[in-house]
Each structure stands twice: as C-alpha cells, then as structure tokens.
Structure 1
C-alpha cells in the first residue's frame, strides 16, 4: 500500500501539484502515505484548487492584454487642427478706479420698529400686518409733522423776541410786536435802569376806580430799531 501511494505521488503532474502533495504528506497528512483512497481525495482537492487559481490568473492576464491592445490602437491626438486658445488677460483698470463695493446694510432705527420696537425697520418686521404697517407709518408722519410745526413756532417766537426798541433814545430793550392792548407793560428792572440814565423821569402812580394803587405809568417814546 505504501509503495502504491509513493508511485502515485512520484508521477503527479504538474510539478507544483506534486510539491504541494509531498509537503502535505510529510507534515500534515501523514496518513495518506499508507491510504491510497485518502491520498486520492487529497490530490483531487488540491488539483481543483490549483486549476481554479490557474483560470483566474489567465482571465486577469487576458484583461490586461486587452487593455494594452486597445491603448495601442487608439490614434494619437493630432495637434494643429484647432488653434490653441489664447490666454486672456483682464482689461486694465483705470487709475484710481476702485472695485464696486457692496453697500453696508442700514443700521436699525434708534427707537426700534414702529410696531414691535425690535431692532429692525418697519418693512422687515416679522410680526406686523399690512394694516399695522400703514397705521404705524401714518402716526409716525403725523408726529413728525407736529414736531416740525412746534419747531417752526418756537423759531418764530425767537425771531420776534430778537427785535428791540430804544426807550426815550437811552435804553434798548427787547420788543414784542403790538398785541392790540392800549398800554404795554415793562418789567420793573427796565424802569430802574431807565431812571438811572434819565434822572428827570418821574413815574406816576396809577389807581383803579376804587382808589386802590396800581402800577406806575412812565411816559416813553418808543422807536423801533432792527
């Protein structure tokens, strides 16, 4: 039995299969040296493995060869059929010309949104309805016009108070336009200053119908000066 197994191994082909079986029977499958059936099964198993590996190697080599042939048959790209594109250069910018800058966003109003008082403009309010926007804008314009009217009235009063009159040619005091009254009243300080520069001025004590003392009357000769 051992001689039969030895003859079988010695006549194995190809040599790579013979070397594999020799190694296995010497190291791992020593029982196959005296059992020809077990040896046959071992040879058949590894022969199938090597055959499968051989086919895979052939398929892989065939794919590589096909790619190489295809690359060789591909015609080289001809040059000169189309002119090469010229490199483009940006147009020169005029001296002092700056690139257009994006305008910065508007700062939110100081008083906030007219509806929700948030830090955004009325048009950007996320909660205001169209009716609320219209009403808030109308009220804002009315308040603005009222403030402008008050400022104009105040400026007019200041302009009127800037007028002056010279009393008796000696003392200049602020002048208020005629209010329609029969007499004009001047402060006591003005009377004191006028008597200081005009000692001959004599005030007359006025009384009402019941004989009660009133205010002093001083004759003056006003002359408007601008």
Structure 2
C-alpha cells in the first residue's frame, strides 16, 4: 500500500515530470510495497535513512537491476513529496488507521470539526475511481495534468449526523464526487442521495 499515491503523482507532474513517467513512479512504489510487504507512508519513509534501508532490502530481491534503480528513484521522490507537502482536505464532508478507518472524534478549531482519515479517502478513490459518481466528470480528462488525482470524497451519511466515533467502510460509506455535485448533495437540509441527484442530473442533461 502506498499512502497518498494520487497526490504523489500530482506532485511529480507539478514538478515537471511527464504524466506517463509519474504514473510509472506510482507503480514502482506499489512494487516495492508488495515485494517487501511494507506500507509506504509518512511513518515508514520519513528520512534518507529510511529510504536507504528500503533500497538495501530491495537490492537483495530478484527484481531486474534497472527496475531496482527506478524504484530507488521513485522512493527518493516520495521522500521529497512527504517532506515538502502537507495535504489538508477542508471540505465539510471530505476526509483527511490502516485496517480500520475510525472517524468522528471531534476537535475544536473555530467550530467543531471531525477528525478525518486520509487513508480512508485514498481507499475510497482506489475502489470507486476518480470519476464523479453523479456527472461522471474526470478532472484529468477534462483539464489535463492539473486535474490528476483530483476528486472530492463524500460521506453517504454525513459525519455531523453520526456524532460519535465509528468505523468507516470506504466501499459502502464513501463515494467519489466532483465539487459541484458535492455541493448539490448538501444543498438541502437533509442530504440528497447519490441516486436522486444522478436522476436530476440526467433529467436536465438529456
């Protein structure tokens, strides 16, 4: 598993890497994760020493030498991504504990907000994809490289209605939506269902 893989790819493109190469770097990291049975995230890859340890372990595997070199480059870029980037998802119903996704614990900023699990967001995108579940827009297709990895994640049942810590299922509780459709889902006091909004969209865009 690679934490924030989509954001990592976007980071690479924004720093001048070609889209195809950026996606390849994501694949290299997935290969490292599967080959060594490790999770690649901001805890396991937080320093140059961590990178060196992983590369050393990788050197003892049966992967082709060229491929190992590419994996090492991708890993060093990931460290750069981790140290230079701090993603904060501020949308009211978007989410910011790898086997369980526990959410709902309140923390006070200016108003009550909910603790949000970024890994659940990534898992939702892995399951449901980057196309909006309502209007089907894909931001990379529509806007090019600036849209890589961009999508909102919607809680089918709003956290504000739960009011206690609970275990989130990225498959059943979360869905990928664009910002416009996300806003429309919350347009009324009671959240509109995905299917109802999709019917409205199709009816008005036939």
Instruction: Give the TM-score range, shorter chain.
Output: under 0.3
Q: Which has the larger radius of gyration?
A: 1
TM-score normalized by structure 1? Answer: 0.17
Task: Identify which of structures 1 and 2 has the higher relative contact order when contacts are C-alpha pairs closer than 8 Å and 6+ apart.
Answer: 2
